[in-house]
Structure 1
Amino acid sequence: MSKSKIEELVVTRSGESKFGEQIIILPSLTNIYDDLINLDVKHVLIGIPEAVGVFANYGKSGASKAWDATIKILLNTQNNHLNRPEQLLILGHLDFSEAQKQLSKWDQNNEKHIKKARALVSEIDKEVSDVIYNVVKAGKIPIVIGGGHNNAYGNIKGSSLALNKKINVVNFDAHTDFRALEGRHSGNGFSYAFAEGFLNRYFIFGIHKNYNSQNILNEALNADNSIKYNTFESIEVQKIYKYKSEMKKALKYVSQDAFGIEIDCDAIANVPSSAQTPSGFSVNQARQFVHFFGSHKKTSYLHICEAAPTKKTATQVGKLITYLITDFIRANSN
């Protein structure tokens, strides 16, 4: 991301300092690893403005717009001793504009177009995996914003290759995203990562009983004891388990090794997303989740996905994601 673009987005005010005035950027991108390795930053922000994976999973488009909605709000966040902008480098976003143009010509009811979209997701995977690999190899923690949950695959693969071992993941989600290996889309990033040996332990936090098939539950229950989950209903409806105790249980399961944090905005009530829900965890619970897991020293990355803002909701979605980013930076910087 260029300095001129940041200056264009930041609204300055006398007597105030904004994130965008303090944020670190790279003067040029030659080799991401070489550019990052000696920089005194901990977190690297990356945008993925695409909705191809959501389309390929028969979902509602709009996830390509989350990055633009977020960066405007983040750059205008107050810089004070309660925030840590000096810990963050904005790398910018991956350019999938051509993929988005192709997507606009396709029909979701046409199986040939679905197949083309799934092939295109595999190409997107390569770019995401590569940038995550370089950021993690340089010893930094990626914060990945926007796009569908298909990008979890690139986060996991890139991190695994950089660390030279399988990694664990905790996923705040209404769905397992462990669908069949039927061509890449937003519903099978974790099943592909698991099948290809990049994902080890996987905990899905708060799945909805109404939206996960028996076949998927059978897969999740029988994947070499490497997958565990709880349900939203058991925590918030039946009140069998307490939210904090379930977070502790999930952390104990994934924190035996490096782990990624996945936040699917479908799991947060009334947030515009590819599968928006009227019943889900609250925004404050999502913030608690990011803070709780982000505080752990073995956190490898944060991924916030599936938000699908409209013109009317862009500011609210941008604020939500910005809260999650700043919560993570504060927790992870201590």
Structure 2
Amino acid sequence: MNSKKLTLFSKSDLIAYTKYRNGEIKLGERIHLLETESWTEELKDAEPKYAVLGIPEDVGIKANWGRTGASTAWSSFLNSFLNIQHNRFCKGNWFTLIGHLNFQDEMKQAQKLDIKVKEDRKKLFELVAAIDKEVSHTISQITAAGKIPIVIGGGHNNSYGNIKGVALAKGKAINVINFDAHTDFRPLEGRHSGNGFSYAYEEGFLKNYFIFGLHENYTSKSVFGDIKVHTERIKYNTYEQIRVCKEKSFETELFTAKKHVDNNFYGIEIDLDALPNIASSAITPTGFTVEKLRQFLHFFGKSKNASYLHICEGAPALDFETNNHLVGKLITYLVTDFVKSNSEKT
């Protein structure tokens, strides 16, 4: 059964986003679209290996006391992604642009709720749990069709649906490498953007987990304690260890993390709040550079075990009006870095 929340990307949508120009071929002019409601069967038969899905919602962020705005990243991404050049380095026919999961109703309900009110917060948790079901079902269908999902969020709560969906399609728990300032391994208090991994771990969908570049100031003692209990399966390094104290090197840590996750299918999670001054729910003034993240993606994208990419928490609506295209442009660079690397894998 297909999700009722899925809105397929149409030819008219494509025309509206693509900026045609004489003498050039834009990615949007060569990208593959799905045309029927039986999209799962159509996807199985489609040649492109990568399936792009948007999840423009920020209910999970609100439920985690965060600033909303991540729901605007999908449109910003499309404006950039569909207008890069189709050339020998990146081809439009590598991708199927599926469309997005429409959570407008859930967003409207969330707007009326006050996170400070206990009953309202409980309702927010319930909305996120409902979103989880749609995300995991759709991701499972994409994976079962033999494609690699590229998911553009949205809140990091959708990590849970990604992990569960791929695990169900693969028939076993998967590993995850998470480039993030936070663990998102908070207590199981009800679903939100801060506990997608802890829920996936508790429910048996997440096996090995590595957090790359954790910020020491924003991880609680209790979360560090929880991680310590599961030290064989949950590992991390901190941004401070690598870039401030220089106790560890970025390059060596790439291999350390790879050893932990590349013995199984794994997902790649990218939270844009790990980058300095990128418009996001938890924007930070310090962190790895964009170039380091691109190197990270190139490194982890190479493996045959890389099973999905999720880029989340970017919030163009929180940026200066004159610069609100930059988040979409950044996400586009990250998507193409991953695909270029993954298409070269042995």
TM-score between both structures, scaled by the size of structure 2: 0.95
Give 3-state SS (helix, strand or coil) of 2:99's partner.
strand
Q: Is the 2:197–2:206 Cα contact (8 Å) retained in structure 1?
A: yes
Instruction: Among all aligned residue pairs of Structure 1 and Structure 2, give the percentage whose two residues are the same amino acid.
Output: 51
Deviation string, structure 1 residues 249-303 (Cα, Å, up to 9, x no partner): 1011100000000000010111011100000111111111111101111100000
Residue 181 (structure 1) aligns with: 188
CA shift for structure 1 position 246: 0.6
RMSD: 1.0
Give 3-state SS (helix, strand or coil) of 2:204's partner.
coil
- Say if 2:6 is the partner of 1:3: no
* 1:43 aligned to which of 18, 38, 50: 50
- Say if 2:35 is the partner of 1:27: yes
CA shift for structure 1 position 30: 2.0
CA shift for structure 1 position 16: 0.2
* 1:314 aligned to which of 321, 324, 330: 324
* 2:177 aligned to which of 161, 170, 183: 170
CA shift for structure 1 position 108: 2.5
CA shift for structure 1 position 183: 0.4
2: CA distance between counterparts of 1:314 and 1:114?
A: 30
* 1:222 aligned to which of 223, 226, 229: 229
- Say if 2:39 is the partner of 1:14: no
* 1:150 aligned to which of 154, 157, 170: 157
Task: Output the amino acid matched with 1:4.
Answer: S
2: CA distance between counterparts of 1:182 and 1:89?
A: 37
Count of aligned pairs: 333
Q: Is the 2:57–2:71 Cα contact (8 Å) retained in structure 1?
A: yes
CA shift for structure 1 position 119: 0.4
Residue 329 (structure 1) aligns with: 339
Q: Deviating runs (4+, > 6 A) in structure 1?
A: none
2: CA distance between counterparts of 1:251 and 1:185?
A: 28
CA shift for structure 1 position 29: 2.6
* 2:65 aligned to which of 44, 50, 58: 58
CA shift for structure 1 position 84: 2.5
The unaligned stretches of length 5 or more in structure 1 are none
* 1:96 aligned to which of 75, 99, 103: 103
* 2:275 aligned to which of 234, 249, 268: 268
Q: Is the 1:203–1:228 Cα contact (8 Å) retained in structure 2?
A: yes
2: CA distance between counterparts of 1:60 and 1:178?
A: 19
